[in-house]
A = this chain, B = another copy of it.
Amino acid sequence: MLLGAIEAGGTKFVCGIGGENGEIYERVSFPTTKPEETMKQVVSFFNQKKIEAIGIGSFGPIDLTKTSDTYGYITSTPKPYWENFNLVGEVKKHFSVPIGFDTDVNGAALGESKWGAAKGLDSCLYITVGTGIGVGAVVEGKLLHGLLHPEMGHILIRKHPEDYFGGSCPYHLDCLEGTAAGPAIEKRWGNKGVELSNDKRVWELESYYLAQAIVNYILILSPKKVILGGGVMKQEQLFPLIRKEVIKLLNGYIQSKDILEGINSYIVPPGLGDNAGLAGALALAHNSLIESDSLELKHD
């Protein structure tokens, strides 16, 4: 079985062909320019390939309400040319297969729960810390949605008393993303994170913020696994710092062995490594196929 996967990002679109066990046979990427240019490349990549479903994990915000007139659209993005673009509609024009569509991070959470670090669990959190901070969640075996999709990167957090950086979020200034995403690190310290690997202060402060957010996610969602990916998390020294701070902040309140004794395997990097995003889109394709099969069964 061949499945198509589109990881639709604000900088590039990664497209791939893979299988139902998360394996990826082929991948290409195209810069995200104007929709008509980028989509032409996407469509021509999948043309002639015998795919049975396509999954799209997209940058957002996106409309995921199936009954909405703008289902499948990228909505209020500041990315030029892409506001109100009918992404699912454009793919559907060219391919008459089931199409799975969700946020890039929800896709990654689903992929990790099917094939990665949360395999076999009905609940996990996938956090990416990079240019922005995004979080996807599997809850009770399903991807988390509600009024809209979650926007957990923007939660309000406590400022460190010695952090005088005002924050870089255009909406909330010093929310989590405005305080701890890549651009915030660069603005605060004057250098990119990757150039600051050896500066202990940088990573202690970073883990102070990320641990706070993770503690709130744990108290609210009670995930069975917390997976941290994205460019900033390439600084692997963050993992032990974050784990230690999470334990300290929870202070024994959550009586779970998985946390109290198993923190090293509770807060982890993606099991699918750098493939987490594309495999996430593949997982969305896989789910859309399962759903369409079960709909057909019901109609029979």
Does A38 interact with chain B (Cβ within 8 Å)?
Answer: no
Q: Would you list which residues of chain A between 136 and 171 have a CB under 8 Å from chain B? A: 139-140, 142, 144-152, 154-159, 171
Does A61 interact with chain B (Cβ within 8 Å)?
Answer: yes
Please determine whether B156 and A212 come into contact, CB atoms closer than 8 angstroms: yes
Does A259 interact with chain B (Cβ within 8 Å)?
Answer: yes
Please determine whether B151 and A254 come into contact, CB atoms closer than 8 angstroms: yes
Partner of A61 from the list B142, B251, B255 (CB cut-off 8 Å) is: B255
Nearest opposing residue in chain B for A211, CB measure: B156
Q: In the complex, what's the smallest C-beta–C-beta distance from A246 to chain B, in angstroms?
A: 11
Please determine whether A221 and B144 come into contact, CB atoms closer than 8 angstroms: yes
Partner of A216 from the list B135, B156, B159, B222 (CB cut-off 8 Å) is: B156
Does A85 interact with chain B (Cβ within 8 Å)?
Answer: no
Q: Would you list which residues of chain A between 231 and 261 have a CB under 8 Å from chain B? A: 249, 251-256, 258-259
Nearest opposing residue in chain B for A153, CB measure: B219
Please determine whether A224 and B146 come into contact, CB atoms closer than 8 angstroms: yes
Please determine whether A171 and B221 come into contact, CB atoms closer than 8 angstroms: no
Q: In the complex, what's the smallest C-beta–C-beta distance from A137 to chain B, in angstroms?
A: 8
Does A295 interact with chain B (Cβ within 8 Å)?
Answer: no
Given contacts A140-B144, A171-B251, A258-B147, contact A220 B224 (CB under 8 A): no
Does A215 interact with chain B (Cβ within 8 Å)?
Answer: yes
In Å, the complex CA distance between A277 and B152 comes to 29
Q: Would you list which residues of chain A between 188 and 216 have a CB under 8 Å from chain B? A: 212, 215-216
Q: In the complex, what's the smallest C-beta–C-beta distance from A198 to chain B, in angstroms?
A: 29
Q: In the complex, what's the smallest C-beta–C-beta distance from A4 to chain B, in angstroms?
A: 26
Nearest opposing residue in chain B for A171, CB measure: B253
In Å, the complex CA distance between A256 and B147 comes to 8
Nearest opposing residue in chain B for A223, CB measure: B146
Please determine whether B154 and A219 come into contact, CB atoms closer than 8 angstroms: yes
Q: In the complex, what's the smallest C-beta–C-beta distance from A173 to chain B, in angstroms?
A: 9
Residues of chain B with a CB closer than 8 A to A156's CB: 157-158, 212, 215-216, 249
In Å, the complex CA distance between A148 and B253 comes to 12
Q: In the complex, what's the smallest C-beta–C-beta distance from A77 to chain B, in angstroms?
A: 11
Does A217 interact with chain B (Cβ within 8 Å)?
Answer: yes
Partner of A144 from the list B139, B148, B150, B217 (CB cut-off 8 Å) is: B139
Does A113 interact with chain B (Cβ within 8 Å)?
Answer: no
In Å, the complex CA distance between A172 and B246 comes to 12
7 tightest A-B contacts by CB? A146-B222, A171-B253, A123-B146, A155-B216, A147-B222, A151-B219, A152-B220
Give me the interface of A with B, judged by CB distance under 8 Å. 61, 75-76, 123, 135, 139-140, 142, 144-152, 154-159, 171-172, 212, 215-224, 249, 251-256, 258-259
- Apart from A147-B254, A147-B256, A171-B251: 5 A-B pairs, beta carbons within 8 A: A150-B220, A150-B221, A154-B253, A156-B212, A216-B216
